[in-house]
Structure 1
Amino acid sequence: MRGAMDEPRLRRLLGGEDTAWLLDRVRRRLELGKPVAGTVTLASAGVEQRRAVERLLGRRAGSGRSLTVSLEEIDAVLRVSGAAPEGLAAATRALLGTVPDRAAEATAWMAVYEPLAELAERRPELAAWRAWLDATGMIRRLTAGPADAARLVTELVRVLDRLPAAGVALGRLAAETTGDAHGLDDGKALATLTLAAVRVLAGAAPTGDGSTFERRSAWAAVGVHRDELSSSVLCVGLPGGVTTLVGRMVALAREAGEPCALTLRQLNRERSDLGVRDGHVWVCENPIVLASAADELGTRCPPLVCLSGQPSAAVLRLLDLLAETGAQLSYHGDFDWGGVRIGNTLRDRFGWRPWRFDAPSYRAALASAPGGTLAGRPVDAVWDPDLRPALEHHGIHVQEELVLPDLIADLSAAATVP
């Protein structure tokens, strides 16, 4: 059995200023995972540095300007003398504190990233997010080391494998994937990394403006709602029915010619009787369109649903209910890159028809609407390959409000008197 380290004696032999260079050389080898063996040399050694080595070895340390020392010899001296029965490596750690093994650490970090590489291979749509992780070093910045990072990555992959979802509460998603209902709360490392991936899945950049609305919209785009009450959708003109609460609500609103706000909670509680069946539903991006339609058409307004920007979980749930009964959706949005991304998201899910939302309509709008400078990252419009080139060519965005008369005219033409 090895004896205990004689720390006072060890410090006298090896812990002084004149042997600091020797400890530094050993520390570097330990960090790189190299064996503590061979020789080390100090060029232009001073008198006191040479004497310190001679006291340690119990013999003369040669002559000349440089000083060369055998690490095996020092190791043997420390073991035999009892100053450090476990040798030079243990002595170095005792004198300098924890010495990180850089080689082992590098290997551990490589293992951390392996599940992310496998995820990116399975989910090529996450490539931009994976590149963002590498460019920012975000995982290292958010964790205390490889072990902490490995736990985080395991949970991260587990969460992303559940997305996109078909309507799930954020707390429930967190509980089912991490065992903690608050595991995806704002400010937590897992939420930061997951939200960046969610934005990419929604067709945006990994970083957002950080606002509550932006975060809620990003989650909603992949079918996750922060709670069932804050997620809502505006509609007007839905016929409704008498067999469900939501059906009665929208029927009363239509009878009064007024818009109706439905929460996700209400839409999730029962299979709502919306009364549309295989009829036509118009979908717009901005509330001003819906409000203007209600003002001008009142009880004659045909079924119209408003996204209010990025579609919330409530919006997607309502459109799902409508599509399940065979309703035909026609969509109009802002002529800008954000509007195109929203259109792509809806197109993949519902297969809507353009409502004055294609390249010819854009060019026609430019002739009568002033618009503004188009900004943001370009994206193809999956429903019209000519729309992106037209937007890039003119460099002008046109919001729905600027073509409101045309949209109201379409709704008016589709209106029927009850």
Structure 2
Amino acid sequence: MSDTSPDEERLRRLIGAEDLSWLVDRVRQRIARNVPLTGSVSLGDPTAGQRRAVAVLLGRRPPTGTSLTVNLASVDALLRSAGHGGLAAAVTALNGPVASLSVERLRAERAWRQALSPLDTAVTGRPELAEWRSWLDATGMIRRLAPGPAEAAALLASFVAVLDRLPARSIPLGRLAAETCLDAHALDDGRPLSALVLSAARALTGRPFRSESSAESRRAVWAAVGVHLDELSSAVLTLGLAADPSSPLGAVLAAHRGAGEPAILTLRQLRRHAAPLVAERVHLCENPVVIAAAADDLGPACPPLVCVGGHPSAAVWRLLSLLREGGAAFLYHGDFDWGGVAIATALHQRVGFIPWRYSSADYLAAPDGSALTGRPLPTPWSAELSSAMEARALRVEEELLLDHLLRDLRASGPWPSTG
């Protein structure tokens, strides 16, 4: 026994054939867009069956030509005369109600706003992410990572949980993912959440928001917010540091200090040393050349010196944390360029420092370097430095001041002021 009514059966015989489905689809599209059902619709390169179906519907000879054209008013009149209420009523009865595209768009946008709401709330209290938040909308990144609002809501719930932990003091990537997302692989390379968190981490550390393709660059970004991929590849270069000689770390440092040689400390070594490292003053530099020159020039007489090596790794942050717990005051020097300023800003925010030949006066007294490029950044440790760098428009690498830095280290006390 058929479940359809006689009226529905007649309607399906009229316009329900497979060869007329293109016509019904065109009508439904017009209804969805709120376009009047007037004029004609055409089908290019129709089959013989589609030609015959239109001929049967309209009671005429099968049309010829390269396209098939149907006058909607004629079909509407035919359906009304057959008691089916016209074309719009007929296709609705045949295949169900047609959702308005404008209503669907409004509903979808409302769902997207709800999905994005936790992200907006999280960013509101972090002004350093305001520009990044606008960049997300401009690039459509979230909508590329998540096909719909429901998927975006789940993605952003995990993102907010991760963001709340950044910057971290030092945590393995898998542990961070497990604790925030209940999935130790949620932040693995290639996962949508990893791409989103890395872009935010770049914003937090003053880098361009776009993705970087190399594994090394991603490792550096994670390290800059206190997340490490493993404990052995993350390391820090030091000279003249000391620790309790009865501890494994202290024994290593004592041997290197006695020989006047630099020590490369891994994150594994530093994480397994819980006691503070005691030092009154620790000089920090950006580039390894300062460590090498100090080892050559001063050897065992070099005061505590740490190279942050560009954007600090997880090992650097761990070492500075141990030194700060031991009461150390940090003195920092880096390159006079916008990348160097971004590194210094991260250090200033997390551990604080006294500028070591790294003020506006020091910059203006430094030798000429190459052209300064990049986006200007504020310099909170020396308010005038940023303006001076914009005005002079020259980058001064740390190597150009190496003699001055070595003289300061040799004196191991107050260094000459340049103004």
State if a TM-score over 0.5 links the two structures: yes
Letter in 1 for 2:158: E
Structure 1 residues 217-236: aligned runs within 5 Å: 217-236=220-239
User: Is residue 384 from structure 1 mapped to residue 382 from structure 2 by the alignment?
Assistant: yes
Give the drift of 1:14: 3.5
CA drift at 1:268: 1.1
| 2:3 corresponds to | 3
CA 380–119 in structure 1, closer or farther in 2 if over 3 Å, else same: same
The answer (yes or no) to whether the contact 2:278–2:328 under 8 Å persists in 1 is no
Q: How many angstroms apart in 2 are the aligned matches of 1:309 and 1:152? A: 31
Q: Helix, strand or coil: the match of 1:330?
A: strand
Alignment match, 2:202: 199
CA shift, 1:204, in A, is 2.1
Corresponding residue for residue 345 of structure 1: 346
Matches within 5 A, 1:13-412: 13-15=15-17, 20-30=22-32, 40-42=37-39, 66-67=73-74, 69=76, 77=84, 87-90=93-96, 101-207=104-210, 209-272=212-275, 274-276=277-279, 279-366=280-367, 370-412=368-410
Give the % identical residues: 44
Q: How big is each residue's C-alpha offset from its partner over 1:123-178, in whole Å with a ceiling of 9 and x where there is no partner?
A: 33211211111011111222332322222122112211221212111111111122
Q: 1:261 to 1:11 in 2, by over 3 A?
A: farther
Which is worse superposed, 319-328 or 147-156? Answer: 147-156
Residue 357 of structure 1: CA displacement?
0.5
Distance 2:231 2:217 in 1: 17
Counterparts in 2 of 1:251 and 1:335: CA distance versus 1, 3 Å: same
Mapped contact 2:278–2:323 kept (Cα < 8 A): no
Amino acid at match of 1:3: D
Quick one: distance in 1 between partners of 2:122 and 2:77?
Answer: 49
Q: Provide closer, same or farther for how the CA distance between residues 108 and 273 of structure 1 changes in structure 2, counting only shifts above 3 A.
A: closer
- Please name the residue that 2:64 is paired with: none
Q: Which stretch has the larger CA shift, 297-306 or 105-114?
A: 105-114
State the secondary structure of the residue aligned to 1:241.
Answer: coil
Q: Following the alignment from structure 2 to structure 1, what is the Cα–Cα distance between the partners of residues 228 and 31? A: 52
Measured in 2, the distance between the counterparts of 1:45 and 1:329 equals: 77
Distance 1:375 1:271 in 2: 42
How far does the alpha carbon of each residue in 1:346-403 deviate from its partner, in whole angstroms, 9 at most, with x for none?
A: 111222101000111111113xxx4111111110100111111111111110111111
Change over 3 Å in CA distance of 1:222–1:27 after alignment to 2: same
Q: 1:261 to 1:71 in 2, by over 3 A?
A: farther
Q: Which whole-Å deviations, capped at 9, do the CAs of 1:53-95 have from their partners, x for residues lacking one?
A: 668xxxxxxxx995483999699849xxxx99x82343989xx
Question: Structure 1's 176 and 74: CA in aligned 2 closer, same or farther, altered over 3 A?
Answer: farther
Whether the aligned pair in 2 keeps the contact of 1:284 and 1:307 (CA below 8 Å) is yes
User: RMSD over aligned Cα, in angstroms?
Assistant: 3.6
Give the corresponding residue for 1:60.
none
In the alignment, structure 1 segments of 5+ residues that lack a partner are 56-63, 94-99
Could you tell me whether the CA contact under 8 Å between 1:18 and 1:48 is conserved in 2?
Answer: no
List gaps (5 residues or longer) in structure 2.
44-50, 60-70, 414-419
Relative to 1, partners in 2 of residues 1:24 and 1:244: Cα closer, same or farther, differing over 3 Å?
Answer: same
CA gap of 1:18–1:88, structure 2 versus 1, over 3 A, is: closer
- TM-score between both structures, scaled by the size of structure 1: 0.82
- Distance in structure 2 (CA, Å) of the matches to 1:169 and 1:147: 29
* SS of corresponding position for 1:316: helix
The aligned amino acid for 2:357 is R
Question: What amino acid is aligned across from residue 263 of structure 1 in structure 2?
Answer: T
What secondary structure sits across from 2:298 in the alignment?
helix
Shift of 1:269: 1.2
In structure 1, how many angstroms separate the alpha carbons of the residues matched to 2:397 and 2:361? 16
How far the C-alpha of 1:116 sits from its partner, in A, is 2.0
Distance change in 2, residues 1:2/1:111 (3 Å) = farther
AA of the residue aligned to 1:40: L
The amino acid that maps onto 2:108 is: E
Q: State the AA in 1 paired with 2:167.
A: P
Change (3 A) 1:274 1:90: same
Deviates more, 1:106-115 or 1:322-331: 106-115
Whether contact under 8 Å (1:267, 1:318) holds in the other structure is: yes
Counterpart-to-counterpart distance in 2, 1:234 and 1:41: 77
CA distance in 1, matches of 2:211, 2:15: 58
Distance 1:109 1:254, change over 3 A: same
Distance across 2 between alignment mates of 1:7 and 1:250: 90
